[in-house]
């Protein structure tokens, strides 16, 4: 596993990598990669932090753990690379966006356009064994990603934290809710889609961003036919 943090995050998270739990986590993930197929690839474990620098985070969306199917996970929650079938949870996200803003369903699930606008797509657990959801839960990733959440919360610049589902909502105590906005709701998975649909989370996020003095996010995902990269 690559333990090189992107530069903008090094100052606020670098000391985490020297702590015993992270050393044990690194050994665990390396052993797992030696015995099993593990996603995402080692060079993409910190892809969300790479795509969205610390000082540019204006929205943090928290997922649980990476997709566990071949070719799906690339280090950003809910996102899949161009050419990969859009997973059910992300399809429900796009359907809600269609209801709120009238955007058509894109032909891909590559969320890099969000990340480049300051949307940190963070999973609580950053690796997973193929075909086994939550297989790397409780091994130390949560301590690291809790530190990410607390680092964003500690900034003077306000942000919007998006907590979908009961798992994500448990992270609320890590957030300074007097300085930051929090959007909570049901998870977009098929199991809770009926509760997610109609909750208008993107309108809530954009309203909060405007109140903080930020530009709203352009949530549209370009079709591959339009030259998405």
Catalytic residues, by residue number, are: 65
Residue tagged 């530190």 (tokens): 147
Q: How far apart are CA 36 and CA 57, in angstroms?
A: 34
Rounded to whole angstroms, the Cα distance separating 148 from 13 reads 7
Cα–Cα dist 94/108, whole Å: 10
Helix axes 201-211, 88-101, angle to 10 degrees: 60
181-185 sheet: strands from edge to edge: 119-123, 59-63, 160-164, 181-185
Closest CA to 160 of 132, 137, 174, 180: 180
Residue environment code for 70-109, b if the CB has 16+ CB neighbours within 10 A, otherwise e: eebbbbbbbbbbeebebbebbbbbbbbbeebeebeebebb
Is residue 60 within 8 A of residue 153, CB to CB? The reply is no
At residue 204, the 3 state secondary structure works out as: helix
């Amino acid at each position: 596993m690559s333990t090189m943090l992107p530069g903008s995050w090094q100052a606020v998270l670098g000391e985490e990598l020297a702590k015993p739990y992270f050393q044990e986590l690194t050994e665990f993930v390396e052993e797992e990669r030696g015995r099993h197929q593990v996603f995402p690839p080692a060079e993409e474990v910190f892809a969300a932090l790479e795509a969205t620098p610390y000082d540019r985070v204006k929205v943090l969306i928290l997922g649980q753990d990476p997709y566990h199917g071949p070719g799906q996970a690339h280090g950003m929650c809910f996102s899949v690379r161009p050419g990969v079938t859009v997973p059910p949870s992300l399809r429900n996200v796009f359907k809600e966006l269609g209801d709120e803003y009238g955007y058509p369903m894109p032909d891909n699930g590559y969320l890099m356009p969000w990340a480049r606008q300051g949307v940190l797509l963070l999973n609580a657990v950053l690796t997973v064994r193929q075909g086994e959801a939550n297989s790397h839960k409780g091994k130390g990733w949560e301590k690291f990603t809790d530190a990410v959440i607390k680092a964003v919360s500690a900034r003077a610049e306000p942000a919007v934290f998006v907590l979908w589902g009961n798992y994500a909502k448990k992270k609320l105590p890590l957030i300074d809710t007097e300085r930051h906005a929090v959007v909570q709701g049901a998870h977009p998975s098929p199991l809770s889609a009926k509760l997610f649909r109609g909750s208008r989370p993107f309108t809530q996020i954009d309203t909060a961003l405007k109140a903080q003095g930020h530009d709203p996010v352009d949530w549209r995902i370009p079709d591959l036919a339009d030259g998405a990269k």
